[in-house]
Amino acid sequence: TDGILGVFITAAVFGQVVQQSAEEVQDTVADALTRLLMIPLFLLLGVFLPFGEWAQMSPVLLLGLAAAVFVRRVVAVWLVSPVYRNLHTRQELAFMSWFGPIGVSALYYAMDASSRLGDERVFVYVSFAIAVSVVLHGLSTVPLSKWLAGHNDRTTETAAPQKH
């Protein structure tokens, strides 16, 4: 966790110090690297998904893991929403609270925990949560983005001064 905290702090400082044009270049490079590295990683994850183990899991456990995907980010964002209220509308906060897909870091920690504990169930549970997250967030990206854009367009229209 020290390494992740260090990367987070470095990124926060980097965002405050770097000029906008350099940040745009960095964003382009980061997007390219993400595509280059993430697509093969998620392809490999898809190959190794433990469908058989998932089929043997209790329906209650499956529902609990799926519920955790729904609830974890929503609760966190709404708990800190008073900080953001001056910066974002309720609709933007709702959008932010939904999009927090579980991904690569969860996969890393699941594999690490599985090997340290000698218990494959950790990978089985976390891989299920990752798969549910990828499917849910993947299917909801376009409709929710359009909803937010439509809301922001309506907000901008009502806030614009009227010409006489």
- The pLDDT value given to residue 50: 92
**Comparing C-alpha atoms, which of 96, 56, 91, 51 is closest to residue 73?**
96
Please, what are the averages of pLDDT over each run of 10 residues along the chain (164 residues)? 72 69 67 77 86 92 84 80 78 76 80 90 89 84 83 62 48
Question: Using an 8 Å Cβ cutoff, are 133 and 101 in contact?
Answer: yes
Neighbours of 114 (CB within 10 A): 18
Residues 6+ apart with CB under 8 A from 152: 91, 92
Residue 100 has what DSSP assignment? Answer: -
**Comparing C-alpha atoms, which of 97, 94, 91, 96 is closest to residue 72?**
97
Domain boundaries, the chain: 1-47, 51-164
Question: Using an 8 Å Cβ cutoff, are 124 and 54 in contact?
Answer: yes
**Comparing C-alpha atoms, which of 117, 120, 1 is closest to residue 52?**
120
- The pLDDT value given to residue 164: 44
